[in-house]
Amino acid sequence: MGACSFHKNSEVGKSAAEKLILLEPDCTAAYVLLSNIYSSEGRWDDRARVMKRMREMRLRKDTGKSWIELEKEVRSFVVGRASRPDSAAVDDVLMQLSAVASDQDLVESNGL
């Protein structure tokens, strides 16, 4: 579904999300991706309807985590949180990666 959104094939993404919601009504990822597709199309009423349904079902989106290898150890982190003792080291590596990506025009060409 995320690939459908990335490649601007929202009809396939919407169909997949709706079918997944029928099969697994508690799957928050399907609701979030569907709402993101609606947002990208400017369909704010449809997005609001999806989010309302999530609230009514008391579903909450899981916090997104990322992983990075630092000093031969894989560490997870949540952007914007400094709850780990090594948060400064993780931030430094991310800044370096961002600089390299910007220097090589990876950010613009991949829409990151």
Q: How far apart are CA 44 and CA 57, in angstroms?
A: 20
Range of the domain at 86: 66-109
Q: Is residue 8 part of a domain?
A: yes
pTM over 0.85: no
Are 69 and 80 in contact by the 8 Å Cβ rule? The answer is no
Token pair of 84 as six digits: 């780990």
| 4 contacts 33 by C-beta, under 8 angstroms | no
What does the alpha-carbon distance between residue 33 and residue 50 come to, in Å, rounded to a whole number? 10
The CATH number linked to 13 is 1.25.40
Residues 70 and 93 occupy one common structural domain = yes
With respect to residue 21, please indicate whether it lies within any of the assigned structural domains. yes
Q: Is 61 part of any domain?
A: no
Quote the DSSP letter at residue 84. S
pLDDT by residue (tens digit) across 76-101?
A: 777 666 666 666 776 777 778 777 77
Domain membership flag for residue 10:
yes
Is residue 66 within 8 Å of 50, Cβ to Cβ? no
Are 76 and 53 in contact by the 8 Å Cβ rule? The answer is no
pLDDT per position as a tens digit, 42-79: 889 999 999 999 999 898 877 777 777 777 888 777 76
Domain count, the chain: 2
